[in-house]
Chain A
Amino acid sequence: MEDSIAVNEAVAGEEAAAVEAVPKKKEKKPINQAKLQDNLWGWIFCIPLIVGTVWFVYICLVLAFLLSFTNYQVINGGDMFAYIAKMGEHIHPNGAFYWYSYAFNNMTQTQYPMNELGAYLFNTVFYMIGIPIGMILSMFFAVCMSRDIKGGNVFRVLYYLPCVASTISVVYTFKLMFSQQGVMNGILGLKDFDNGGGFQWININGTTDLTWNNLITKNGGTPTSASAFMNDPYWCQGIFTKLVIIIMSVWKGLGGTIILYIAGLSGVNAATKEAAQIDGANGWTIFWKVTMPDLYPVIFYNIVTSVIGGMQIYAEPTLFIGEQYITSGYVSLIQTNGIKAGKSSQGAAYGMILAVIIFVLTMFQFWLDSRNKD
């Protein structure tokens, strides 16, 4: 009994102490007025960005995710928010995952019976050939520019010009430069001066086999080179159009990468370089053994961003030759189905697949990176 009383007293004492402590904390509150101000103003300054991001990215992401299980049509589907609110009633009649299975099973309705998603994805990946080409070229130019020469800054600015130009202007210029009577055919000797013909770069409906003779010879006055494409396989349909698009993308993106690399090169440790030089290493060895390891973070950043950007290629193929399964990138699938044809839910399903693909690709690159460091 005595023990328990003692315990009770002890507890009571503790409680009393606690009660005493609380007013003390409350007394401190006025001093924390500054902290309150911090919290208040911190939130106030952030609120526009938070609202914008949540509204235009996160809510739209959730809406797109939900839409992909329904059969919402934007043209006559009515209010989307009301539609989503009654999500339970509006699951797609053929099953919630109808659009996903459709995406993986739908065949192109053309002479090449192949998976539509696969065709568009193939084009997207094909355009990524430009990434390594651009990286090597821009590395070369960056090394040239970071030499101790006069006027290096002028070159930097001139090489960045295509990056600031609008895609549309550049595309129309390239389209005309690569036309039958264009400059490019003149340089490459594919221009038919007599008949006003020449090799057709921007063409997707070629029927001639791809041989050098077909490119250059003329058949009774008219050049057969008008459309030299292999007839049968899908993958080389419109391959020259794709080539022009790759050339244009590399040309347009070179400046930005060069500037990234110049920044990286200026951060390379000069002392290590000098030490290597004294040890008798030549320029080539120094570049591979000293400069490249230091540049690795920049190169990795560049690869990650350009793969993410490359997966979203859209404007260039569209402006060059329109949207079809031979040249268009994956985003065209979303645009034509989800927006032009008005089947929002189908477009949303395609979009979710794209998001997963990009996420997996990025994670894969980071995994490679982490493995490389060990």
Chain B
Amino acid sequence: MANAENIVETTPVQQEEEYSSFRYAMGAILAFFGISSKTHRASKKRAKFVGDVFTYIVLLFGTFLMVYPFWWMVAASFADTTDGASATQVIRSIVWWPERSTFDSSFSGKAGGAFWNYYLFFTDGLTVVNGKFTFWRALLNNLLYSIVPVVVGVITSASAAFSFAKINWIGRNAVFYFLLAAIMVPGPSIMTAQYAMYKNLNWQTNGLVLIIPGMFGSIMTAFFIRQFLFGLPTSIIEAAKIDGAGYFRIFCGFILPLAMPAIMAQGLLSFMGCWNNYMGSYIMIPDTSSAVNLPHAIAKMDGYGGGGRYASINYAAVIAGSVICVIPVMILFACFQKLIIGSLMLTGSKE
């Protein structure tokens, strides 16, 4: 062993020569791309640069996968499907832009112009299927179902969160865990009882079923706002109390403005949930009622999940409806993305 060590020590030059020229060249190339090997050591700067390029390629490819369906959706909503024979062909074979689109010259004189499919969707979309009402009604329903319960519900949740975080009262923790245990109950398993109850209360055909339960707030929203309120100093509240402010005053004057980031984020998230609430409407509101919300109304145009078969001729109108359904939440998300993602990150780091 000692002999061998001696040989190694005395012949360092020979060891380098042990690599074949191919291996040596490969090492040089690898080092150029920032990967260290036995023959060559890559510089850290080069390694970082190559890693960054690789990361950008991967992330850009992923971004393409994430965004492409949305682009496809927009392209399909401008497809010209007025010719019944080739309608299916036109909309299905879209890759980047339809063969015949509503931007063609034949549409310049028509009512909606290039937005012919949107025009169809809004004017006679559901009248064709149901003979009852247009999509303006569904859109208004959706606005009502997502604004009223969310605004009222977030305020009630925030008040409960304030009470749980900052007021000392007997049985506070017991009540909190009692309410928190409710999230263990899966929604679908109590669906039938809720359905029967709402039918008894007659909340279904007028759409109250999607408004009233939301107005009582949700325990998850209250939980997150409570976590946020724990971070606020209690001294503010005590100072306000000494100055003679009642709890109601403290809540309106201090807690609501101070907890606004958390309240806004939770409100926006639940707004998106309510706006996209297909299941709630499909299960609770009858197909023939005019109280259905927008996703349910769009589903009615398609064969499955709804009633009619509007699809075979003018599927482009269905896709136009889908675009209409996506745009408001996209705009909201674009405006408040920092707030929403920050709130989601907080959730991740808390748990």
- Using a CB–CB cutoff of 8 Å, the interface residues on chain A facing chain B are 34-35, 37-39, 41-46, 48-53, 55-58, 60-61, 63-64, 67, 72, 74, 77, 79-81, 140-141, 144-145, 147, 149, 155-162, 164-170, 172-174, 176-177, 179-183, 186, 196, 251, 254-256, 259-264, 266-267, 297-298, 301, 308, 311-312, 314-315, 318-322, 330-331, 334-335, 338-339, 344-345, 347-348, 351-352, 354-355, 358-359, 362
Contacts and interface: CB of A to CB of B under 8 A. Distances in A.
B291 interface: no
Given A39-B170, A49-B222, A177 B163 contact: no
25 contacts: A41-B169, A41-B247, A42-B163, A49-B160, A49-B222, A53-B219, A61-B190, A67-B192, A77-B196, A79-B200, A80-B200, A149-B56, A158-B63, A159-B62, A164-B332, A173-B319, A196-B89, A255-B66, A308-B186, A318-B282, A318-B305, A322-B304, A322-B305, A339-B192, A354-B189
Contact of A172 (B190, B319, B333): B319
A332 B200 CA distance: 23
Contact of A355 (B59, B156, B185, B349): B185
A330 B182 CA distance: 21
Contacts of A263: 344-349
B188 A259 contact: no
Interface in B277-307: 278-279, 282-283, 295, 298-299, 302-305
A354 B334 CA distance: 37
A164 B325 CA distance: 11
- Central interface residue in B169, B197, B272, B318, by most chain A CB within 10 Å: B169
B184 A359 contact: yes
Interface stretch (B25-33, B92-100, B104-112, B118-126): B92-100
B72 A177 contact: yes
Contact of A67 (B156, B196, B248, B319): B196
A335 to B, nearest CB: 6
Given A80-B200, A156-B341, A264 B348 contact: yes
Given A39-B169, A48-B216, A251 B188 contact: no
Contacts of A63: 190, 193, 196-197
Interface residues of B, number: 101
Contact of B160 (A48, A155, A172, A267): A48
A64 B95 CA distance: 49
Interface residues of chain A: helix, strand, loop or mixed (majority):
helix
A37 B245 CA distance: 12
Contact of B189 (A145, A156, A301, A334): A334
A297 B351 contact: yes
B128 interface: no
B136 interface: no
Interface residues of chain B: helix, strand, loop or mixed (majority):
helix
A262 B192 contact: no
A49 B191 contact: no
Given A74-B196, A261-B348, 17 more contacts: A49-B156, A60-B190, A63-B193, A64-B192, A74-B192, A80-B193, A147-B52, A159-B63, A159-B66, A161-B66, A164-B330, A168-B325, A169-B73, A170-B69, A176-B76, A260-B347, A359-B184
Contacts of A145: 59
B210 interface: no
Contacts of B88: 181
A267 B195 contact: no
Interface string B310-351: 000001001100110110011011100100010011111101
